[in-house]
Amino acid sequence: MSSHIGPNMIIGACEWVALPQLGIDRLRARVDTGAKSCALHASAIRRFERDGIDWVAFRVHLDRGANSTDVDCECRLVGMRVVRSSSGKASERFTIRTPILIGHSHWAVDITLTDRRKMRYRMLLGRMAMENHALVYPARTFLQGKPRLNTFSGTI
C-alpha cells in the first residue's frame, strides 16, 4: 500500500495567488504546465549581503499600465538558475523561495525573477510548483477564488 499523498486541489488555467512573505496579498498568475519553474515580473533587481547571506531586493509590478501597484520586496537568494524560454533563448535568473497561497492551501515554491512587462500575467506558475499540490483543469479559471490570507500561519 502506497503512502503517497497527492494533490489536494484543482486549479484553473489562471488563479489568484498571494506571496505573503513578500507583502503581496493578491496577484493573478497564469498556470503553465509546460513551464518547469515559476516566474515573477520584477525590476530594479539588486543582490546584497545580510549577515553573511546573499539576499535580493526587487520591485514587483502587480498590474499592467499606468495604474500599476508596485511592491518593494526583499528575499533570501536561493541561487541563480538558467531558464530557457519557449523560443529557446536561455537566460540566467535570480531565484528565491517563498510561500505561495492559493485558495486555502500554502507551500514553499522557487520563483525566478524576470522582466514580464510584455506578458498579460505578472506571474507564471510552473509545473514544479504544482507538483503534489494541484491538478490543473485548463478549461476553467480562478477555481480557488481569492487567496484566504487568514489561513496562512506564516510558516511552511
Residues 24-45: tens digit of each pLDDT: 999 999 999 988 889 999 999 9
Amino acid 153: pLDDT: 73
Amino acid 100: pLDDT: 96
Alpha-carbon distance of 101 to 53, in angstroms, equals 26
Amino acid 4: pLDDT: 56
Q: Which of 31, 26, 85, 75 is nearest to 53 (CA)?
A: 75
pLDDT category of residue 121 using cuts at 50, 70 and 90: very high
Alpha-carbon distance of 133 to 126, in angstroms, equals 12
Domain boundaries, the chain: 9-151
Amino acid 156: pLDDT: 65
The answer to whether 27 and 16 are in contact (CB under 8 A) is yes
The answer to whether 108 and 129 are in contact (CB under 8 A) is no
Question: What is the C-alpha R_g of the chain?
Answer: 15
Q: What is the CATH number of domain 9-151?
A: 2.40.70.10
pLDDT category of residue 66 using cuts at 50, 70 and 90: low
Q: Is the pTM of this model over 0.95?
A: no
Residues above pLDDT 90, as percent of the chain: 67
**pLDDT, averaged across the chain:** 90
Q: How far is CA 98 from CA 39, 58, 66, 118, 136, in A?
A: 12, 14, 28, 24, 21
